[in-house]
Amino acid sequence: PPASPPPAMGPEAAPDTDGGPWAELAETLEGLDLAEKKPEAAKARGELPGAKVAPSPPVAAAATAEVEKPSLIPVDGRLPPGLAKAARALSEAEFERDTLMFLGSRSTTLRAMSEHWEGAVLAQGERFLGFIVLGRRDGSAALTVKHLAVDPRERRRGHGLRLLQHARQRCLELKLPRIALTCKVDKEESLRFYKALGFVDEAARWQGDENPGFPPSDWQSDGLSEYWLSCSADRELELKKS
């Protein structure tokens, strides 16, 4: 009998490509066919003999890593040395002295005056952003923000507001009705900032002024170097978006 014809190689009878020599032959033919039609694309994919597969472009670390949020760290033994050094350097630049050196101390003077002071540094990972020093005296009706400073390179990013919100939180925890602070009369930008948050002239308030206004009342002497401001602890400290 005549020999059987070889099996058709069309779509009707494609070879079994699940394994064996047929699989290798099919892959080779398919690769050569693609290379013949689109040689540059085939070369880029490594489908031509000797072609190298181009590595995928690296994904930027910043795009994959979650951005760390700023956090508050108490000024005590837990504060990393690098952040402590940065805070003291900013204190020297802004206030001409180290305003954090007495925090955590139990000096006889502070005990005699019944004063309680604490501080916190705002940082984003190892990056220093700013600090706050706040405290109270026994019997006082207000929590006083003694010092607040933000690194000049980090300003206008909401860090000052974050530090004041921490002061308000401590005020509520201590069940004190008001937050108080001082501001130099020539710090116009800071005064506008405090005004926007709802701070008023504390001295005028004590004088019975029902609407202390801002800047502080006209009765203040011309030689005044700083204003004494306060805000109710019940007030949310938020800046309105313009």
pLDDT for position 15 = 38
Q: Which one, of 160, 157, 156, 158, lies nearest residue 130 by Cα?
A: 160
* Residue 241 maps to a domain: no
Q: Are residue 38 and residue 148 in the same domain, yes or no?
A: no
Q: What pLDDT is stored for residue 5 in this prediction? A: 45
Instruction: Give me the pLDDT at residue 32, please.
Output: 44
Whether the CB-CB separation of 73 and 126 falls below 8 Å is answered with no
Residues in the chain predicted with pLDDT less than 50, given as ranges, are 3-18, 21-23, 25-26, 28-29, 31-37, 42, 47-48, 51, 53, 61-64
Bridge partner list, 123: 71, 128
CATH number, position 166: 3.40.630.30
Q: Judge whether 201 and 210 are in contact, CB under 8 Å.
A: no
Torsion angle in degrees (nearest 10) through CA of 79, 80, 84, 86: -140
Does residue 162 share a domain with residue 140? Answer: yes
Q: Residue 223's pLDDT is what? A: 73
Its domain, for residue 46, covers: 15-55
pLDDT value of position 13: 38
Cis peptide before 11 (omega within 30 of 0): no
Pairing of strands 200-201, 142-150: unpaired
Residue 76: what pLDDT?
86
* Total domains, the chain: 2
Domain contains 89: yes
**Ordered strands of the 226-232 beta sheet:** 71-74, 115-124, 127-137, 142-150, 178-184, 226-232, 200-201
Residue 17 corresponds to which amino acid? T
Domain contains 205: yes
Exposed (0-12), middle (13-18) or buried (19+): which is 87, by Cβ within 10 Å? Answer: buried
pLDDT in tens, 10-57: 333 333 444 554 445 445 445 444 444 455 554 555 544 554 545 555
Class of residue 101 by CB neighbours under 10 A (exposed 0-12, middle 13-18, buried 19+)? exposed
